[in-house]
Amino acid sequence: MSNQTIQPTPTLSAACSGGPAVAACLGGLCGQGFFCSSNNYCCRCQSGNSTGPCVNQVCPTGYMCNTNNYCCPLGSGGVLGSCVNGVCPTGYTCGAGNLCYLSSGK
């Protein structure tokens, strides 16, 4: 008998860091507008819970508008949005899918 703590399986209503998930990921994939989270659920944010839809591309402090137009915690996946003419804001690099990704350099 091990002393290992067994994590309870989250319900769909709270699987995304307390927020609702739409389904479990299938092969690491989700429907458009959702991301496969670390616990294998399809969520609005890659990590953390969304505060809701962006309002004119603006979110509360500490959140950024992600590619599906939802406010997600800064650093959740490191995707800021689409590149504009191949350019991203300082600290981000234009990458796959013409999206701005958080630069890995310091």
Q: Residue 39: CB partners within 8 Å, gap ≥ 6?
A: 10, 15
Of 99 and 37, more confident: 37
The DSSP code for 31 is -
Q: How much is the pLDDT for 64?
A: 83
pLDDT in tens, 74-106: 764 566 667 788 887 777 777 766 777 766 544
* Contact assessment for residue 48 and residue 76, using Cβ atoms and an 8 Å cutoff: yes
* Domain boundaries, given as residue ranges, for the chain: 12-102
Q: How much is the pLDDT for 43?
A: 92
